[in-house]
Amino acid sequence: MKSKVFVEFQGVQSSVKDMEDAVKEAWKAQGGKVKDIKTVEIYFKPEEKMCYYVVNETETGSFPA
């Protein structure tokens, strides 16, 4: 089964895949390697138009949605 998940709130729309890709890019920009990512938690706050993430249960960051 293939699926796409979108979150929409007050005119802001973001897909789960787009958020995952953005986390990978942010991780790489910080000098990490995508292969080293074991777990990712993403918290999308549409009212702030921000995504917050935790990689491997310890590394945190954020980016605009």
Rounded distance, CA 4 to CA 33, Å?
25
Q: Is residue 1 part of a domain?
A: no
CB atoms inside a 10 Å sphere around CB 62:
14
Residues paired with 40 in a beta bridge: 55
Is the pTM for the entire model greater than 0.75? yes
Provide the pLDDT for residue 11: 83
Domain that holds residue 30: 6-64
CB atoms inside a 10 Å sphere around CB 63:
14
Rounded distance, CA 1 to CA 39, Å?
22
The amino acid occupying position 52 is Y
Rounded distance, CA 25 to CA 4, Å?
20
**pLDDT per residue as tens digits for the range 5-61:** 988 888 888 899 999 999 999 999 999 999 999 999 999 988 888 999 999 999 999
Domain count, the chain: 1
Provide the pLDDT for residue 59: 93
Q: Is residue 45 part of a domain?
A: yes
Provide the pLDDT for residue 46: 83
Provide the pLDDT for residue 47: 85
